[in-house]
Amino acid sequence: MDLAIKYRVPPGTRVDLTQWRTDDAQGVDRDAAEARLAENIDALQKLQYRLYAEKKQSLLVVLQAMDTAGKDSTIRYVFGPLNPAGVRVKAFGRPTDYELSHDFLWRIHQHTPRQGFIQIFNRSHYEDVLVVRVNELVPESVWRERYDIINAFERSLCEARTRVVKIYLHLDKARQKEKLAERLTKPHKLWKFEMGDFDTRRKWDDYMRAYEDAITRCNTDHAPWHIVPTDRKWYRLLAVSEIVRAELERMDPKLPEPTIDRAEALRKLDEIG
């Protein structure tokens, strides 16, 4: 089963999130999922090594989700084992006044990956058509324009050989309630709780509509969306690792050709001692 293809949103289709399962596991059990995750991580490490050495292309992974879906743990488990020299993580919170005094992509563009790097966005420019839309932080005429602007922006990244992979972690609403309750009962998780989370939860349906529009309108060949079932952590990690692995395999980074004559270098090493 090719999970990367299974969860890729078919191009040109209108997304209805009620038709996408949050608890799918494709008949895979936890042990098998964990074994495959370990294999994927091993493959990712090798692919990253080649990407970093090649320095000709880069990968941007955009993670979006409702609160408690597990963006942070996904980053930790899937990307944590990679060489930190070649990975960057950027979380986008509420924009500062200074950021807001620019166009909405200004703060984003500064964090797109340079050649050889993997960049992960924990939230992203999509917040500008999600939270901004739901909370009416700008007029509708402004956010409506943004889908086209985002598509053009991602296209320009693609032309600079940055592959953009977008992943929505699709969480069930009832499952979110369990996870919020867990945050409230486990002392070490309490710091993550914000009263604002209730406001977002109350507006769940509006968020789902905003996600459906964002995914439908910005699901391009050059920057595809994936919708990953998220209720079970071990399956979410497996699916995300499959998607990223498939993408890096498609990019197929190559070690640079050596610029030296090996025999001569070995001779020299002997000579210098």
User: At closest approach, how far in Å is the CB of 237 from ligand ADP?
Assistant: 18
- Tokens coding 178: 């369990």
The 3-class secondary structure across 26-86, one letter per residue, is CCCCHHHHHHHHHHHHHHHHHHHHHHHHHCCCEEEEEEEECCCCCHHHHHHHHHCCCCHHH
Decide if residue 94 touches ligand ADP (CB under 6 A).
yes
Residues 23-82 that bind ligand ADP (CB under 6 A): 67
Residues 120-149 that bind ligand ADP (CB under 6 A): 123, 127-128, 131-132
Decide if residue 93 touches ligand ADP (CB under 6 A).
yes
Q: How many CB atoms are located within 10 Å of the residue 46 CB?
A: 10
The 3-class secondary structure across 169-180, one letter per residue, is EECCHHHHHHHH
- Among 89-97, 143-151, 167-175, 217-225, which window interacts with ligand ADP (CB under 6 A)? 89-97
- Among 82-90, 91-99, 233-241, 264-272, which window interacts with ligand ADP (CB under 6 A)? 91-99
User: At closest approach, how far in Å is the CB of 168 from ligand ADP?
Assistant: 14
Residue 169 pairs with which residues in a beta bridge?
65, 228
The residue with tokens 């990019």 is 251
How many residues of this chain interact with ligand ADP, rule: CB under 6 A?
Answer: 10
User: At closest approach, how far in Å is the CB of 131 from ligand ADP?
Assistant: 4
Interface residue list for ligand ADP (CB under 6 A): 67, 92-95, 123, 127-128, 131-132
